[in-house]
A and B are shown apart, each in its own frame.
Chain A
């Protein structure tokens, strides 16, 4: 089952979701922020947005703070789903 980060009710009600699915683009490890049909990949190694489209500026800073403060949980969930490419691995993985 995909991991869904519990969000405060006001964010949920306005359609924001934060998830890790069973099948994602594996490298680099990331969490996906969603609102309706728009999705943003946020890197779990450095907290940066991975893509220029859609514009990362559309994700509110307050939500971003909620997501980054949950990185320990998100990293744990990523590592459970993708043990062959854990967040802690870098270019020197085996």
Chain B
């Protein structure tokens, strides 16, 4: 099955041999009817007529997802949203450049890439669309993007997903996609743990990784001495008592049972 069906002008990405097929208007109906359980991803390029998609929407079978590079009128968007499992609109979500977008959507690595997103400063979140369109978008609190040690701070007015979806750029500030996924997608975190070349899978090592990820020192756990945290991290004590674990987890902002997943 094709991973991505492209409506609109052919692109360099197609010529480069990605798993992306150009669909002519007269082929749209058949492609809509051929859908299966695996998502079919449609990309409508700039200036593309969406009429065939709307006209044959009732013939759609299976799971179809749509990425629109251009804005459409409200009525048409409502129809498309009613028929497609998900619709991402380019004027609402800052998307990757076209060829990078096609590359990300067809990549074997697409479960760890973003294709675009938006910043909602009122609610303090960044919404990120995954390149694997079968996965739900991620909501990342803006507070998570803490300034780096050299003082570089995020500028949410200059949001972009860049470098084939491997990074989120906020002005001069950059966050790696895998860092975001590791923090906010438990399934990704479990897979990433399995992908580690070498890893200390102990509870103590997981606690240490999580503590450092949160930028905390061993002295930052009220009611628990730094020595006790060190002993737990080094595996010199048994699994901490439930009350201690709850205090540690609360300070880290995760559920107690999630600590070991880091």
Please indicate the chain B residues that have their CB under 8 angstroms from the CB of A24 in the complex: 175-176, 179
B27 at interface (Cβ–Cβ under 8 A)?
no
Among residues of A, the one whose C-beta sits closest to the C-beta of B189 is A25
- Whether A52 lies near B196 (C-beta < 8 A) is yes
Residues of A with Cβ closer than 8 Å to B? Answer: 1-2, 17, 19, 21-27, 32, 34, 36-39, 48-54, 56, 79-85, 91-94
- Whether A27 lies near B195 (C-beta < 8 A) is no
Among residues of B, the one whose C-beta sits closest to the C-beta of A32 is B176
Residues of B with Cβ closer than 8 Å to A? Answer: 100, 103-104, 107, 109-110, 113, 145-150, 152, 154, 163-167, 172-176, 178-180, 182, 192, 195-198, 208-209, 212-213, 215, 217-219, 226, 230, 233-234
* Given A26-B213, A37-B103, A94-B218, A21-B195 contact (CB < 8 Å): no
- Whether A81 lies near B196 (C-beta < 8 A) is no
A81 CA / B172 CA spacing, docked (Å): 13
Please indicate the chain A residues that have their CB under 8 angstroms from the CB of B226 in the complex: 94
Q: Report B107 CB to chain A, min CB distance, Å.
A: 5
A sample of 20 cross-chain residue pairs with beta-carbon separation below 8 angstroms, ordered by A number, consists of A1-B174, A2-B167, A2-B174, A21-B175, A22-B173, A22-B174, A23-B148, A23-B173, A24-B175, A24-B176, A25-B176, A26-B209, A27-B212, A37-B100, A39-B178, A51-B196, A51-B197, A52-B195, A81-B149, A92-B230
Please indicate the chain B residues that have their CB under 8 angstroms from the CB of A92 in the complex: 230
Among residues of A, the one whose C-beta sits closest to the C-beta of B209 is A27
Q: Report A53 CB to chain B, min CB distance, Å.
A: 5
Q: Report A37 CB to chain B, min CB distance, Å.
A: 4
Q: Report B11 CB to chain A, min CB distance, Å.
A: 15
* Given A1-B172, A24-B179, A27-B213, A39-B166 contact (CB < 8 Å): yes
